Amino acid sequence: MSQVEEAFHGVMQTIADEGKDGPRLFSLEPVARSAFNPDGWVKKKFRVTLWCEHTRLPLPLINKHDKEGVYEFNVTREWFAAAAPFLKVLVGTLSLVLPVAASATKLALDEATYKGFERQLDLGKASADAMLKASDKTVDWLAEKEGVNAERTGIIRAHGGVLREFQAWLKQADPGFGDLRKVLNKQKEFLWVHRDYEKEY
């Protein structure tokens, strides 16, 4: 549990500056769920799901339906290649967080939907892995000897522009960000939380 918390907070701290402009927690997967080929494409359609930064759960699990906070974007291979190191860390961390968050919540979670998000995270991570290998970026971001926040911290900061570009796409598609609410926590950090948890800040 403590290692999961450390990994999650490490990721959130390194992308703290991007929190003022839009949500930072999201998962994504290719819409065509066949084996992901990192080569031979210019644009590909991806499905993106926003997550609540309070519960650490995807919005469809909280809302009990799969529309709000879910989008499809045509993503360029250039952007995905640049984003792959960041996406691998982000999706890998969400994979650790999901079972902990689900067990801690008082929401009655639908098992089939929950399993669907596990598969989505697995597919998103596999896609990022494939792109990293195709780009010869074979760094083990989670190497024990580096600690949970060492090298990947710099990588995420270096890819802040990728996240800001994603937020710009998202704002154009849905200025309300799936009805996520921007709040300030006690550390004066911006969080994007589901409307049901706005009152807790």
pLDDT digits (tens, 9 = 90+) for 123-146: 999 999 999 888 764 444 333 334
Mean pLDDT for 35-62 is: 90
Distance linking the first and last C-alpha atoms of the chain: 24
pLDDT, position 159: 56
What are the CA-CA distances from residue 104 to residues 57, 90, 179 (Å)? 11, 21, 23
* pLDDT value at 15 more than 80: no
CB of 79 closer than 8 Å to CB of 165: yes
pLDDT, position 158: 44
Report the alpha-carbon distance of residue 166 to residue 83 in Å, rounded. 10
Give which of 6, 51, 47 is closest to 149, Cα–Cα: 6
* pLDDT value at 47 more than 90: yes
pLDDT, position 102: 82
Q: What is the mean pLDDT of the chain?
A: 81
* pLDDT value at 43 more than 50: yes
Instruction: Give the pLDDT band (50/70/90) at residue 30.
Output: very high
More confident residue, 39 or 142: 39
pTM: 0.80
Q: Is 171 exposed, middle or buried (0-12, 13-18, 19+ CB in 10 A)?
A: middle
Lowest-pLDDT choice from 52-56, 137-141, 161-165, 183-187 = 137-141
